[in-house]
Structure 1
Amino acid sequence: MRVIIQKVKEASVTVKGKITGEIASGYMLLVGITHTDTLKELEYVAEKIAHLRLFEDEEGKMNHSLLDVGGEVLSVSQFTLYADTTKGRRPSFAKASPGDHAEPLWNSFNELLRNKGLNVETGIFGEMMNVSLINDGPVTVIVESK
């Protein structure tokens, strides 16, 4: 599992002209799932994201987590995170999990985050989405399962 975290002041995702998810301060997550991912990987990454300290304290140091600040999550499925660009000019997506495996895992991942007390908004799996955000910092971090 591979997740790109962007700390945002606000973010939204639109599908076919309709906003499907919208948050204020928090994390916009681009979530990639590969063939070997299981509940174990989802739990590891969800725990890491909920407690990762990317928000500043009174001294400007990154000492507060998403849970500490009451931040929200916008989760967007992103199979292109597993693009292999080592050969040729067209990326291969062979390492990305097919939809019938990835979609239930993505839904479970979002539920794990909700179970930690986070408000989680989402895009729509498999759809073309327009994502809008104001990156805070900018702060962008990659989290991968072991």
Structure 2
Amino acid sequence: MQAVISTVKWAKAKVDGQVVAECGVGYILLVEGHAEDTPDIYELISERVIHMQLFYDFERHVSEGLWQLPPTDEPEILAAPYYSLRDPDWRFMGFKDRSEYEPHDRGISELVTILRAKGRRVSMVEFGTMVDLEFESTRTSAQIGIKPKKKAATDSKPKKSKDPQKHKTPPGRKGYLMLSDYREVRSSSPTRPKE
């Protein structure tokens, strides 16, 4: 899974002029899922979304996260599949490597469920909806991504050992990826806006 985060004062996603999702001060979260995403990845992405400090306070010269913003009843995150956005002016970061990512809703519902369970207020654009975004930006953005490691290819077969136990797959490993099999990719540092 990979995602683009942009900070806004407010944002609205519209279909034919009708608002289908919105947020107040917070994030626009554009998500693209990977075919091999797992619950571990959704959990890691949710932690990055929640704990990134992307809001810059010019008076105190500090960066703040979502949990440090003044309390409000409005949604603080507008989440949408990246491919559902009409953005002819290229206002958002693009992903460099999209070859392994497909236009589907894989993972976004699970990610939003986790964010809501952790107390975040999220408004989501439903799968299959093409939307136009209206928003007031606070000029800070970041890109995060986590995907399974690629296994190194090899032409030579391992030599057989006299010990029949040596080449057996450890219990619970066959067919599954452990948390240690993941690596974080392209996690860009937030861009600090100019005063």
Q: Partner of 1:23 in structure 2?
A: 23
Q: Partner of 1:113 in structure 2?
A: 115
Distance 2:145 2:128 in 1: 21
8 Å contact from structure 1 (residues 5, 29) kept in 2: yes
> What is the TM-score when the length of structure 2 is the normalising length?
0.61
Distance 1:42 1:97 in 2: 17
Count, aligned residues: 133
Q: Which has the higher contact order (CA 8 A, sep 6+)?
A: 1
1:142/1:98 CA distance change after superposition, 3 Å: closer
For structure 1, list consecutive stretches of 5 or more residues without a partner in the other structure.
85-92
Deviation at 1:130, TM superposition (A): 0.8
Q: Partner of 1:53 in structure 2?
A: 53
Q: Secondary structure of 1:125's match?
A: coil
1:109/1:59 CA distance change after superposition, 3 Å: same
Q: What is the Cα-based RMSD across aligned positions, in Å?
A: 2.1
8 Å contact from structure 1 (residues 83, 96) kept in 2: no
Q: Partner of 1:65 in structure 2?
A: 65
Question: 1 or 2, which has the higher strand percentage?
Answer: 1
- Cα deviation per residue 1:82-115 (whole Å; 9 max; x = unaligned)? 675xxxxxxxx6522353xx34x21010011111
For structure 2, list consecutive stretches of 5 or more residues without a partner in the other structure.
85-93, 147-183, 185-195
Rg (Cα) greater in structure: 2
Question: 1 or 2, which has the higher helix percentage?
Answer: 1
